[in-house]
Every structure is written in structure tokens, then in C-alpha cells.
Amino acid sequence: MFKKIMLTTAVITSVISLPSFAATEISWDETSKYVHVGDISVGGKYFSPDDAKSNINMKAAEAGADYYYVSRFTRGNTGFGANAVLYKEK
């Protein structure tokens, strides 16, 4: 029993200590406050605009961006896609 408690405590501690990072969506008006660091796009394989936006958020975070602006949503035969511009603090 003690081993299970210790293992559970170790797992919870390691999960809590993992860094969590998410980029924040901003409006066009806010983009001038930040430095442009790149552009990304996600293909038209998503079932909804929210699915595409979630993938953009993940890719922006992976690229090290603090913020992103969704510049275009598209709807094709296979689903939704989107383009975004990435930004960091000045």
C-alpha cells in the first residue's frame, strides 16, 4: 500500500512540475504591440474551426510564440484549415 501511495505521489508531482505553455490568440489591433516571428498554417482536415484553432495554438506554442493572430480560415472539401501569424513580446 505504501508503495502505491509513493508511486501516485511521484506521478502527480512529475505531472504538476511539467512546464505548460500555450500561445494566446490576439486581435489584429493588438499585433502592433508584438514582434512578428513567423507564420503557420494547418491543412483542411479538421471538422470544425475550433479544431483548426486548437491545432494552431499547439503549433504556435511549439514554435515558441507567445501570441498568434488567425489571419485566414478556409473550408474545403475535406474540412477546415487556417493560417496564423506568430508573435513574441518586444
> Mean pLDDT across the stretch 56-84?
92
Round to whole Å and give the CA distance between 83 and 68.
10
Condensed to tens digits (0 to 9), the pLDDT of residues 18-55 reads: 345 789 999 999 999 999 999 999 987 777 888 888 89
Share of the chain above pLDDT 90, in %: 50
pLDDT at residue 15 in the model:
40
What's the pTM value of the predicted model, to 2 decimals? Answer: 0.72
pLDDT at residue 40 in the model:
96
Q: Which residue segments constitute the domains of the chain, with CATH numbers given?
A: 24-88 (3.30.1660.10)
